Structure 1
Amino acid sequence: MHEKWLNKNDLLLDSYSKYDIKPQFNGGLKDPTKSCFLSSKNPSINDYDYSYCTNTEKHKKTILLFGDSHVAEFSKAIREKYWNYNIIQATSSGCPPIINVKGEGTCQTLFNMVFNKIIKDKQIDIAIVGANWSAFATTNDIITGISQTNQLLKERIATVKFISQTKNYPSSLPMLIMNSKNISEIVPAEDSHIFYNKMKKELPTINFIDIYNYGCKNGKCKLLNDDNIPMFFDNNHYTYEWTKNIVNDLF
């Protein structure tokens, strides 16, 4: 879009079409050739920097960040809040973080590494597990998978928390806001809402970090914070500013 056509707030919203996820999703990884988050841009398991991403110091407690981009997006904010903890990050797009997972090969390899090596070799105090669960509902039995994965992780980790389903919008939220005359009329996709309710109903014993309605009060939900930063930079991933507030309030 041409900047002469846009006001200041629209220019800010338009800028999210070029959002750089690296600082937020990788938590400050210095080497651009390596990563703690694997995606289509770095699809090889060799791109996972095992020594950095699983590095721990004995005198510190350890948090495991395990899942797809919906965990990776909290990496920077968690590292800032829990600066005195070891942070092990094993995140990849392409499949959900459950045992017997079905999905892309690299993702399966990394997640099986968590189950077969990382949780056995490392002393982990807290596991934070998450995904865009509804996106995998047709290829995986998410409900059974979460239940079984929770049981397995709790055999070795004292505190296991699962991030709830996140809202999904029909298209980019910044663009929806720009093109809407009434922001309150923007509503999330129905499938994400249905799956969120399904998880709450069928997994009552799971320790969920419930983020689905974050920013909502009395049935009204904010899509922009006080600085006009949109909740998502696309249709389902939080901007850094929102992850920082969510982590401070809920994690």
Structure 2
Amino acid sequence: MGKNDLLLDSYSKYNIKPQFNGSIKNPAKSCFLSSKNPSIDDYDYSFCTNTEKHKKTILLFGDSHVAEFSKAIREKYWNYNIIQATASGCPPIINVKGDGTCQTLFKMVFNQIIKEKQIDIVIVGANWSAFALTNDVIPGIKETNELLKEKIPSVKFISQTKNFPAALPMLIMNSKNISEIIPEKSSRDFYNKMKKELPSVDFIDIYNYGCKNDKCILLNDDNIPMFFDNNHYTYEWTKSIVNELF
């Protein structure tokens, strides 16, 4: 196993906490709820929604596909308040269906956070295609966008992300030609569907990030893979994306 293979293999034990959870200091609490901390009681409301009056405020709202940008956004927008309400299990839309904890947190966003806090920018995102069978995602995004725009000056949705058939580092290790590694058709089709059917939504379009003239880079100059699993960006890639697109 060569040096690059050792690096790629290390992503099987990737620690998401520093990247997904901002700068939270209490290890028993979180701003990102998942199967490892599935209770709404694990959400540190006082820390995750804390704001100072003299600063502008960004709300990060959605599942792990927003949480993964937490560290990079906090670094770029260090002089902003960052409110983070993120949980895996369902999409951040009105009338959401899915896991009880994420439903509770997302309803808290609609019924409490956006009403109590003066928010300047909201960034909403999810692995949208993963919820297409359980939720009316396209109409839900449209309605959610309209609702948020009533309260918040700048409303941005992160587009659908690529999904690969297996963890990208393993695909790269086992591939003789990286250019032959392509994302799953379902994620590509849903990305195209969102762009076509939601023209009024302001998207941060990340699906084709790293692509030019139909050629897509999956490793950066330091041989860091785009994803650590099959659909979540590594920190180094989130930093580049945030600096260029957010």
Report the RMSD for the aligned CA atoms in angstroms. Answer: 0.3
- Helix, strand or coil at the partner of 2:236: helix
Alpha-carbon distance between aligned partners in 1 of 2:20 and 2:103, rounded to the nearest angstrom: 19
Q: 1:188 aligns to what?
A: 183
Q: 1:14 aligns to what?
A: 9
- 1:54-100 deviation digits (Å, cap 9, x = unpaired): 00000000000000000000000000000000000000000000000
Give 1:87-98 correspondences, 5 Å limit: 87-98=82-93
- Could you tell me which runs of 5 or more consecutive residues in structure 1 were left unpaired when the two chains were aligned: 1-5
Alpha-carbon distance between aligned partners in 2 of 1:136 and 1:89, rounded to the nearest angstrom: 21
Structure 1 residue 29: Cα displacement: 1.2
Moved over 6 A (4+): none
Q: 2:168 aligns to what?
A: 173
TM-score (norm 2): 1.00
Q: 2:212 aligns to what?
A: 217
- Helix, strand or coil at the partner of 2:151: coil
Q: 1:3 aligns to what?
A: none
Equivalent pairs counted in the alignment come to 246
Alpha-carbon distance between aligned partners in 1 of 2:22 and 2:234, rounded to the nearest angstrom: 14
Give 1:155-174 correspondences, 5 Å limit: 155-174=150-169
Correspondence 1:31 to 2:11: no
1:114 to 109, 112, 130: 109
- Helix, strand or coil at the partner of 1:227: coil
Alpha-carbon distance between aligned partners in 1 of 2:221 and 2:22, rounded to the nearest angstrom: 25
Structure 1 residue 245: Cα displacement: 0.2
- Helix, strand or coil at the partner of 1:152: helix
2:49 to 43, 47, 54: 54
- 1:130-161 deviation digits (Å, cap 9, x = unpaired): 00000000000111000000010011000000
TM-score (norm 1): 0.98
- Could you tell me which runs of 5 or more consecutive residues in structure 2 were left unpaired when the two chains were aligned: none
Letter of the aligned partner of 1:15 in structure 2? S
2:39 to 44, 68, 91: 44
